[in-house]
Amino acid sequence: MSKPTKRSQDPVLSNSSHHPFQDAKAIEFEESSSLAYTPYDRIQGPEASKVKIHHVHHHIDSLHLPCKSFASASRSTRQRFSHQATVAFFLSIWCGCLLGFTFHWPYRNDPRYKSLCPLNGPPSVFDIFTPTTVYGSFTLGQAKAIDVAWNMVVGRAAQAFISFVFYSVLMDISMRMMEMTTMPIDLFTSLVFNPFHFTSKVRIVKSLGRIKGWRIKTAMIWIFFSTVYIASIPAINDAMTGYIPRYTTNVTINGTITALNDHTDNPRADPIDILDSLDDPHISCELEKNYAWGFATFWVLLSALLCTIWIIGTYAIWLDAQHHSELVRKGRKMGMNRAIVDVAESITEALGPEINAYSEAELEKALKKHPGVMFSVEERVEKGTERIRLSYKRDGRLQLSWMKKYGA
């Protein structure tokens, strides 16, 4: 009679009728409160996926956030004041530099007047694109490389930085508007997720006839202006710079050709008018092989003016949101994740829970019939908490408390 084989003590390898996966405690260590699983490579069949799913569920449950109350009023006020003071300080320096630059620039020496050649011909409206303050002496390739580098580095960097700043401001403005009135869900999603797209601009224009209140309309107009301005920054920056060929102006006197810049100034001497017109036969122009790169005064001044106006206006509506928005004052800042949660809850409330199989076009068509949503507070008496949500129900002006807890 053969000796019976010793049964393995490993619950995974055991052939016992009581399968270890019938009870989650079979894969728990007694000395630890957390689940510790048998290595996956030792688990065969469908049981392996069960263990993995159980482990994932346990891990996700541990990430759930509890209800919370907002920070103390004094702390929030101090943070907002320090933030606003810092922003105001740097903006005042920036605006001062821009204004000083704007007034100083027109009085710079225009190098075209050092040579009479570029002034030949009648004036044209396209002269605003001609660089009037130029530097250096470059080959054609070097001048073009400098121009491309300026457009890519300075132009795109400025657009990216201003877009980043405005998106943060836009989140506060959006919350401020939706505390005051209802807004179509598609407009809110456009502002939050894709504010610089062309369709967002179209929705902003369409919304001006539906929304009420001068504050909200002013904010929407400013949002539209800001998105158009940000989109035009690369084009303005490109028109601001350029390169022109260098000329040497020669003057023929008594049969001798002399360069116009080959002279010595004598401010005490009596002026002598020797040129009757710019087409004087004694003047000839010689095209040099080099180019000068520089700036067009009109576009420099226009860019500085638009930037100053945008900074002042954006700072004004940002301050309005900082002082009058309940959500901003309580520190519930809007961002990508926060917007996803709020929009998902509002769409589920508007269209119901059975929307899993619907396409984007079907959802968009259904949402167009929705009256719009705004921020409101729902009291949960059984839990002793309140819930902030985007809802079509109008509960009046949003009021939040520093003492209460907010959650699901």
Q: pLDDT by residue (tens digit) across 123-142?
A: 777 888 888 888 888 888 99
Task: State the helix-helix crossing angle for 198-207 and 214-240, rounded to 10 degrees.
Answer: 150
Q: Pick from 33-42, 89-98, 101-110 the range whose average pLDDT is largest.
A: 89-98
Give the model's pLDDT for residue 264. Answer: 53
Whether residue 20 is predicted with pLDDT greater than 60 in this model: the reply is: no
Long-range contacts of 59-67 (CB under 8 A, 24+ apart): 66/407, 67/383, 67/385, 67/405, 67/406, 67/407, 67/408
Give the model's pLDDT for residue 80. Answer: 67
Return the residue matching tokens 């001609």: 130
Give the Cα separation of 182 and 393 in Å (integer): 9
Lowest mean pLDDT: which of 91-100, 229-238, 345-354, 385-394?
91-100
Share of the chain above pLDDT 90, in %: 17
Banded pLDDT at 173 (limits 50, 70, 90): very high
The dihedral through the CA atoms of 162, 166, 167, 168 has a sign that is positive
Residue among 206, 205, 209 nearest 221 (CA): 205
pTM of the model: 0.71
DSSP notation for 222-246: HHHHHHHHHHHHHHHHHHHEEEEEE
Residue among 170, 214, 176, 172 nearest 324 (CA): 176
Which two structure tokens, joined as six digits, stand for 363?
């959802």
Give the Cα separation of 173 and 325 in Å (integer): 9
Q: pLDDT by residue (tens digit) across 49-63?
A: 555 555 555 556 667
Backbone angles phi, psi at 248, to 5 degrees: -115, 125
Q: Pick from 8-17, 80-89, 251-260, 345-354 the range whose average pLDDT is largest.
A: 345-354
Give the Cα separation of 30 and 239 in Å (integer): 73
Cβ 406 vs Cβ 387: under 8 Å:
yes
The dihedral through the CA atoms of 385, 390, 396, 402 has a sign that is positive
Lowest mean pLDDT: which of 49-58, 109-118, 300-309?
109-118
Give the model's pLDDT for residue 106. Answer: 54
Give the Cα separation of 12 and 37 in Å (integer): 10
Give the model's pLDDT for residue 11. Answer: 41
Give the model's pLDDT for residue 166. Answer: 94
CB burial readout 297-313, b (16+ within 10 A) else e: bebbbbbbeebbebbee
What does pLDDT average to over the chain?
Answer: 75
Whether residue 12 is predicted with pLDDT greater than 70 in this model: the reply is: no
Backbone angles phi, psi at 28, to 5 degrees: -105, 140
Q: Phi/psi class of residue 133: alpha, beta or left (left: φ > 0; alpha: ψ in -120 to 50)? A: beta
Q: pLDDT by residue (tens digit) across 254-303?
A: 666 666 655 555 556 565 555 555 555 666 676 778 888 888 888 988 98
Which two structure tokens, joined as six digits, stand for 172?
């506060």
Banded pLDDT at 167 (limits 50, 70, 90): very high
For the chain, what's the residue count?
408
Beta strands in 209-365 (DSSP E): 241-253, 256-259, 283-295
**Mean of pLDDT values over 354-378:** 88
**Mean of pLDDT values over 108-119:** 50
**Mean of pLDDT values over 223-233:** 94
Give the model's pLDDT for residue 279. Answer: 56
Please classify residue 334 by burial: count the beta carbons closer than 10 Å to its beta carbon, then call 0-12 exposed, 13-18 middle and 19+ buried: buried
